[in-house]
Amino acid sequence: MDRERLQALFERSTTPMVLVDDERRYRDCNPAACDVLATSRETLLTMRLDERVPAETLPGLDERWQRFLKLDAYSGASSLVTADGAVVIGMVYGPYAWFDGEEPYRILNSMVAIQ
* CA angle, 68 then 100 then 70, to 5°: 15
Query: pTM to 2 decimals?
Result: 0.78
Per-residue pLDDT tens digits for 79-98: 888 888 888 887 777 766 55
Pick from 22, 18, 30, 28: nearest CA to 80: 18
Q: Residue 37 and residue 88: Cα distance in Å, rounded?
A: 8
Q: What digits encode the pLDDT tens for the residues 27-77?
A: 888 998 898 889 999 999 999 999 998 999 999 999 988 887 787 777 777
- Cα(98)–Cα(95) distance, rounded to whole angstroms? 10
Residue-range domains of the chain with CATH: 3-114 (3.30.450.20)
Residue 48: phi and psi, rounded to 5, are -110, 155
Which residues, in sequence order, are bridge partners of residue 48?
Answer: 25
